[in-house]
Structure 1
Amino acid sequence: MNGDSPHEVVTVRDSRGEEVGWLVIDQLVDGMSFGGFRFSPSVTRAEVERLARCMSHKLALHGSPVGGAKAGLRCDPGQSSVHELLERFGEAAADALRSRAVVGRDMGATDALIDGLYKRLGIPQMTIAGFEGRLRDMPGYRRHMTGLGVAYAARRAVGGDLSGARVAIQGFGLVGAGSAVRLRDLGASVVAISDASGALIDPSGIDVDHLVAAAGGARALPVGAATASRDDLFTTDADLLLLAASSNSVDVAQAEVLRAPTVVEGSNFGLTDAARSRLQRREIVVIPDLIASSSSAAMVARQMQAGGRLGEDELWAAIETAIDQATASAIDRATLDGTDVRSAYLAEHQATVT
């Protein structure tokens, strides 16, 4: 790999010859790579390349057990046309998926779509890692895995103890809901949650289990739950703001008014560049996605490296330690260098991702 250029890009075209999908292998480690598969009407090659590089950086804090990758298919996953496009993707990326890349769920993807891809390929999802099964069958696979890593990073960011910490969460999809559960489990009080429909705010603490059950897997707040404007989330009194919506979902105007002294990016690139700069000037600590949302990828990558033979307790103890230490180290370096935590983390791991 040369500089920021990916190791390999596989392009997928539709029946008219237009580019509609990509598999990007940013880096190979021991001949393997891993990343999510995004299904979205607006996904672009540049976005997939950026996310693949982000995956390499996430895995760096876990020792780079495999390289980073990412897949994207420009489509509405709810439309029947997705199946034809997914078949074309499988044909174009067959060699890579059978020998050097594993893809899992990401935005817009379902287990059925990923299972269908590997069924067409005629191989179990984790074959290249020596594990004859699906990703979710591997030892250590847990519900709310990404949320667990977010909670580990958030705990270190606020000094090592979340007891009584007030948390506001932007987004109530898989990451937002999962993080709400995991943060609550570690002692935090979730006081505000927003999605596209508005915000639910309760300074006395939201009943997370009830809300998750009421949502019923809809990846959004239950109908009628939001009683405030979604921008009210940013001015809610909270100790920590978790970003778990789409990329670039917080702009500079919102960064100007948000009250939480600590922000954690559970989503990829949750802040615009301008918003990140404004928060740095306001001396608000931002724990980047590269650290906070690395746990699911780390679980898969560590098991890929070990051929699926790691025990669950051993695996998650290593992930927890890595995220805790990376968060503390990046905060310390950012303070010393007078920079933001993301830049500090990248400076520490740049030699690993080349």
Structure 2
Amino acid sequence: MEILTEKKQKTMLDNVIEQFNKTADSMNLNPNIRKILSITNNEIIIHFPVKMDDGSIEIFTGYRVQHNNALGPYKGGLRYHPTVDVDDAKALAMWMTWKTSLAGLPYGGAKGGIQIDPRNYSLGELERITRRFTFALGENIGPEYDIPAPDVNTNEQTMAWIADTFMSTKSPSERSNNKHVVTGKPVGSGGLEGRDRATGFGVYITLRLLFEGRKETLKGKKFIVQGFGNVGYWASKFLSEDGAILIAVQDAHATLINENGISVPNLYEHSKPRKGSVKGFEGAAEMEPEDFFGLECDFIIPAALGNQITEKNAEKIKSKVIAEGANGPTNNEGERILLANGVTIIPDILCNSGGVIGSYFEWLQNRNGELWPLDEVMVKIEKKLTEVFKKVESLVNEDQIDHRTAAYILAIKRIETAYIQRGIFP
């Protein structure tokens, strides 16, 4: 007897492989380089024990996937989330390779994290988990080899613990030369002024440039944001300061709406002591979560996790612009529907690349023993992002293709050129 089962939704890894193959076909990528880029270089899985506050021992699983380093050291975030697994890390590592290449940085791509819900652990436990994970990774990370950064549920404090643990394994004379093993550190520990807002700032800049290209401004534009963490907050802050109006926000705990506008500073003050949760905010009313993406607005910023916009909800979307603050928030089936409906998608590898551009500047600052003021950093990030955005927009107009395809072609072409010029060892 035939058993009918519901069609399994594609994973992020399925999506990124499909995107890569589509691009490789469209640009006639060298078949040998295609083989190299279709797989990861290294996949590291670590199980490690940590003593909890009550004296018990828990075993944690950590991952670090290194996709490609043809252009320079591996670069990518570490996330602490219950959904972290090797396939997600592989997908995110590949996206990092394309992102750093598109941005013109001397980096490859990596990603990783720990399968954990950090809300279930004390600060002391999180410190011990982080330090033990860093020690277990050993020489699999390093300032000229693989440079982690913050991601979902990790922050500058996490990076400070990693840097301190890694440096403590070096001889005294070498410790100061290893500070840039991670980026996204606190400013007092070698971090970059403005790194906290760099990703959200990049989302704002790419949106501003998109509308400028259409001879429009952001003033009066209504937008909605999924996720009010670091990226969602800073993007909303810069956008609202430029005249755009936040009318709805969604996170894992609540979906809020106020057609007259939600105060970004007030929402931030409300969410800060609640670990980023917007639930209970008095300046907006709760609404049904499944109706969120279908709201009337000028643009949507998915700034939470991957696979949020799919074939199941894409038809509901009325907005004509989506700015991907998160990595992989739109799956390929959802994207096909959106493009057919005339929606412009600013892809993740362009839209949220302000973070890795900021990371590059922090790495350079540490390497060269320099200190850059905030205004100088923001000018550098804006200049770099503007240059990259214009290259993508130019290819979109020239070849009449969508923004993701254009961004992928530019990113992969740069890596292809590096391999052709260098050759493959031996």
Q: CA deviation at 1:91?
A: 3.2
C-alpha distance in 1 between matches for 2:69 and 2:361: 14
Q: Secondary structure at the match of 1:350?
A: helix
C-alpha distance in 2 between matches for 1:114 and 1:142: 12
C-alpha distance in 2 between matches for 1:82 and 1:132: 17
C-alpha distance in 1 between matches for 2:195 and 2:142: 25
Q: Secondary structure at the match of 2:414?
A: coil
Q: Secondary structure at the match of 2:61?
A: strand
Tell me whether 1:163 sits opposite 2:219 in the alignment.
yes
Moved more, 141-150 or 36-45: 141-150
Q: CA deviation at 1:139?
A: 3.7
Q: Which residue of 2 aligns with 1:213?
A: 269
C-alpha distance in 1 between matches for 2:159 and 2:343: 39
Moved more, 29-38 or 68-77: 29-38
- 1:201-246, CA deviations, whole angstroms, 9 ceiling, x for partnerless residues? 2222221111111112522214255421123332322111111121
Q: Number of matched residues?
A: 353
Q: Which residue of 2 aligns with 1:345?
A: 407
5+ long unaligned stretches in structure 2: 1-32, 50-58, 417-426
* Cα 1:98–1:335 shift into 2, 3 Å: closer
C-alpha distance in 2 between matches for 1:333 and 1:254: 29
C-alpha distance in 1 between matches for 2:324 and 2:359: 20
Task: Choose which of 362, 369, 372 in structure 2 pairs with 1:311.
Answer: 372
Moved more, 63-72 or 124-133: 124-133
Q: CA deviation at 1:298?
A: 0.7
Q: Secondary structure at the match of 1:13?
A: strand
C-alpha distance in 1 between matches for 2:82 and 2:198: 26
Aligned-pair identity in percent equals: 23
- 1:263-314, CA deviations, whole angstroms, 9 ceiling, x for partnerless residues? 1000000112211111111110000110111111111113324525373444
Q: Which residue of 1 aligns with 2:61?
A: 20
Q: Secondary structure at the match of 2:312?
A: helix
Q: Which residue of 1 aligns with 2:103?
A: 62
Contact conserved, 2:184 with 2:192, CA < 8 A, in 1?
no
Q: Which residue of 1 aligns with 2:296?
A: 237
Q: 1:165-184 maps to which residues of 2 (within 5 A)?
A: 165-184=221-240
Q: Secondary structure at the match of 2:313?
A: helix
5+ long unaligned stretches in structure 1: none
Tell me whether 1:90 sits opposite 2:134 in the alignment.
yes
Q: Secondary structure at the match of 1:250?
A: coil
Q: Which residue of 1 aligns with 2:345?
A: 286
Q: CA RMSD in A?
A: 3.0
Code of the residue aligned with 2:104 in structure 1: it is G
C-alpha distance in 2 between matches for 1:231 and 1:60: 36
Task: Choose which of 231, 256, 278 in structure 2 pairs with 1:200.
Answer: 256
Q: Which residue of 2 aligns with 1:149?
A: 202
Q: Secondary structure at the match of 2:287?
A: coil
C-alpha distance in 2 between matches for 1:236 and 1:30: 41
* Cα 1:55–1:310 shift into 2, 3 Å: farther
Of Structure 1 and Structure 2, the greater helix share is in: 2
Contact conserved, 1:197 with 1:226, CA < 8 A, in 2?
no
Q: Secondary structure at the match of 1:248?
A: coil
C-alpha distance in 2 between matches for 1:42 and 1:185: 34
Q: Secondary structure at the match of 1:214?
A: helix
Task: Choose which of 63, 69, 73 in structure 2 pairs with 1:32.
Answer: 73
Q: CA deviation at 1:71?
A: 1.9
* Cα 1:127–1:183 shift into 2, 3 Å: farther
Moved more, 40-49 or 20-29: 20-29
Q: Which has the larger radius of gyration?
A: 2
Q: Which residue of 2 aligns with 1:296?
A: 355
Task: Choose which of 40, 43, 46 in structure 2 pairs with 1:9.
Answer: 43
Q: CA deviation at 1:130?
A: 6.1
C-alpha distance in 2 between matches for 1:191 and 1:237: 10
Q: CA deviation at 1:184?
A: 1.0
Q: Which residue of 1 aligns with 2:151?
A: 106
Code of the residue aligned with 1:117 in structure 2: it is I
TM-score, structure 1 as length reference: 0.87
* Cα 1:200–1:41 shift into 2, 3 Å: closer
Q: Which residue of 2 aligns with 1:49?
A: 90
C-alpha distance in 1 between matches for 2:192 and 2:120: 33
Q: Secondary structure at the match of 2:237?
A: helix
Tell me whether 1:325 sits opposite 2:387 in the alignment.
yes
C-alpha distance in 2 between matches for 1:190 and 1:107: 22
